[in-house]
Amino acid sequence: MSAYDELRLELSEVSDVLSALNLLNWDARTQMPSGGVGSRGQQIATLSAIAQDRLASDRLLMLLDECETELEGLPEDSVERRSVTAVRQASAFYRRLSPSLTREFAALKTVAQEHWAQARAANNFALFAPDLERVVAFSRELAQAIGYVDHPYDALVGLYEPGMTAKRLERLFAELRQGLLPLLRRITDSGVTTRDDFLHLDYPVDSQRAFALEVAQAFGYDLTRGRLDASLHPFEISLTRDDVRITTRYNQNFLPQALFGLLHETGHALYEQGVEPALARGALTSDLMNLYAVAGVSFGAHESQSRLWENLIGRSQGFWAHWYERLQLHFPTQLEGVSVGAFHRAVNRVTPSLIRVEADEITYNLHIMLRTELELGLMDGSLLVRDLPEAWNAKMRDYLGITPPSDALGVLQDIHWSSGYIGSFPTYTLGNIMSCQFFEAACEQQPNLEQSLANGDYAPLREWLTQNIYRHGRRFTPDELLRRSTGRSLEVRPYLDYLERKFAALYSLERSSA
């Protein structure tokens, strides 16, 4: 057996452990009886430690050395060498991380989530502040263990978005902000009011599910390799490419929630279902740093696919021109007298609001910038946890012109910080940006693409995405993936073009002078 074959064998077992971890997580959020919560945390901790120990082992380190010699003749970006690189990186990471740090961090997250929930319910930031201080301190230690040149945030954001740095983010977000803020002002100044009362009628859940699932399958979601459940927060999780599960959340009195939630998760699922079978159970279908069985190259690239299918397709005029009659069949009384144009406008209504997860396509990014800036401050010490609520509210006024009436509707709204995720927020907006860059390239390279989309035929788009993105798993970096498929590094312009084009039409705006 070659060293590489041995490495593959070892990684296939680590990958099985990560799949089991994903199942433990899926089950906890969809099926588990309430009594199981305590022991589930222990099971997850144990399996995480098993995977981590194997990745940090001396034997693996030796194997990596042997593999590097053995594979010298292969191209640097071959599956084999990229697999070795991914394992090498994880090995170095876990050998630097002390097991006690990991264990303490895991324990802290459990407590912090509980205190965060209490703080939010009581609208009392002080109940969560001490934990958040510890999360910030631990995140600094984590950044030290990972290593960075300029800013501790580089190490953290790199966990979710390899190659991203604070400096690059600042540049990208500045350009985005320069486009978004004037566009938002033109929309709010347009005086156009969009009717959406009909979205809040009584929409029976069974029909919501049936319609959304029909669309998901039309997009290409394969139910023989997946399943749909309900959960409090929608998510996608894959055990392997052949078992990719999604959830959504139903609101009987608000149609868009379950529908767009499901289309969003379908985008994530198409990514996972589209990975090449030969990569299965390997280093390129596992996020070894985050101990997660996932084939997407980064959080941002993954999000680009959920946003693409949810927004660029699911909220487009062409989509509703094709599907609206079908939707009306499901809800004839609720949508009686509502034109397809009125419906399309309603599901694209722009309005500054308090809550990130309810925000429209434009203001969403402002919520993300706000969080990213605050995280940067927390990590470099220029912002103290105790000053966070005030800083939050000041930025809300700056960007969105509104002041949260309470911390529960402000700084306490997201679970991320209590879960130890500092550095993951920007990937949501990176996903938005990438989605347009990928989509623009797909349209350029396939002249009939827009016509097939108008006909409700999603196979050509899905195939382009599969060929260019999905099938490769984690073989390339996000930047490489963009360069290979679009010819360019990450750029904001296609996204701003898309927003300008779409919302200028929806709000009858004068074309921007820019």
What would the DSSP string read from start to end of 79-128? Answer: HHHHHHHHHHHHHHHHHHS-HHHHHHHHHHHHHHHHHHHHHHHHT-GGGT
* Shortest spacing between CB 20 and its own copies, in angstroms: 5
Q: Is 440 a catalytic residue?
A: no
- Residue 100 near residue 145, CB atoms below 8 Å: no
Which listed residue (3, 11, 17, 184) binds its own copies by CB under 8 A? 17
- Residue 3 near residue 63, CB atoms below 8 Å: yes
Which listed residue (2, 5, 46, 386) binds its own copies by CB under 8 A? 46
Q: Which of residues 468-497 bind its own copies (CB under 8 A)?
A: none
* Shortest spacing between CB 217 and its own copies, in angstroms: 13
* Shortest spacing between CB 213 and its own copies, in angstroms: 14
* Shortest spacing between CB 50 and its own copies, in angstroms: 6
- 337 is an interface residue for its own copies by CB under 8 A: no
91: left (phi over 0), alpha (psi -120 to 50) or beta: alpha
User: Among 36-44, 152-160, 410-418, 480-488, which window interacts with its own copies (CB under 8 A)?
Assistant: 36-44
How far apart CA 70 and CA 218 sit, in angstroms, is: 45
Write down how long the chain is. Answer: 514
- 33 is an interface residue for its own copies by CB under 8 A: yes
- 380 is an interface residue for its own copies by CB under 8 A: no
User: How many residues of this chain bind its own copies (CB under 8 A)?
Assistant: 38
> Reduced to 3 states, what is the DSSP secondary structure of residue 350?
coil
- Residue 192 near residue 360, CB atoms below 8 Å: no
- 100 is an interface residue for its own copies by CB under 8 A: no
User: At how many degrees (to 10) do helices 426-445 and 493-506 cross?
Assistant: 80
Q: Which of residues 223-252 bind its own copies (CB under 8 A)?
A: 223-227, 239-240, 242-243, 245
- 19 is an interface residue for its own copies by CB under 8 A: yes
Nearer to its own copies, 43 or 477 (CB): 43
* Shortest spacing between CB 240 and its own copies, in angstroms: 4
Which listed residue (3, 7, 11, 24) binds its own copies by CB under 8 A? 24
- Candidate list 161, 236, 265, 361, residue with the active-site label: 265
Residue 221 is given by DSSP the state -
Which listed residue (29, 49, 124, 409) binds its own copies by CB under 8 A? 49
Nearer to its own copies, 221 or 507 (CB): 221
* Shortest spacing between CB 200 and its own copies, in angstroms: 31
Binding track, positions 281-320, relative to its own copies; x by CB under 8 A:
x---------------------------------------
478 burial via Cβ count (<10 Å: 0-12, 13-18, 19+): buried
Residue 512: how many other CB atoms lie within 10 Å? 12
What pairs with residue 457 in β-bridges? Answer: none
Which listed residue (42, 69, 508, 513) binds its own copies by CB under 8 A? 42
**In one letter, which amino acid is 288?**
L
- 32 is an interface residue for its own copies by CB under 8 A: yes
| Long-range interactions of 425-428: CB distance < 8 A, separation 24+ | 425/368, 425/371, 425/372, 425/375, 426/157, 426/161, 426/164, 426/169, 426/173, 426/300, 426/368, 426/372, 427/157, 427/160, 427/161, 427/298, 427/299, 427/300, 427/303, 428/303, 428/364, 428/368
Nearer to its own copies, 134 or 281 (CB): 281
Q: What phi and psi, each to the nearest 5 degrees, are found at residue 445?
A: -80, -20
Nearer to its own copies, 43 or 207 (CB): 43
Dihedral, CA of residue 316, residue 320, residue 323 and residue 324, to nearest 10: 160
- Residue 432 near residue 122, CB atoms below 8 Å: no
* Shortest spacing between CB 284 and its own copies, in angstroms: 15
Which listed residue (6, 47, 96, 391) binds its own copies by CB under 8 A? 47
- 467 is an interface residue for its own copies by CB under 8 A: no
Nearer to its own copies, 229 or 387 (CB): 229
Closest to 364 measured CA to CA, from 439, 312, 405, 425: 425
Q: In what order do the strands lie in the sheet with 236-240?
A: 226-230, 243-248, 236-240
* Shortest spacing between CB 341 and its own copies, in angstroms: 38
Q: By CB under 8 A, name the binding residues for its own copies.
A: 12-13, 16-17, 19-20, 23-24, 27, 31-36, 38-40, 42-43, 45-47, 49-50, 222-227, 239-240, 242-243, 245, 280-281
Catalytic center residues: 265
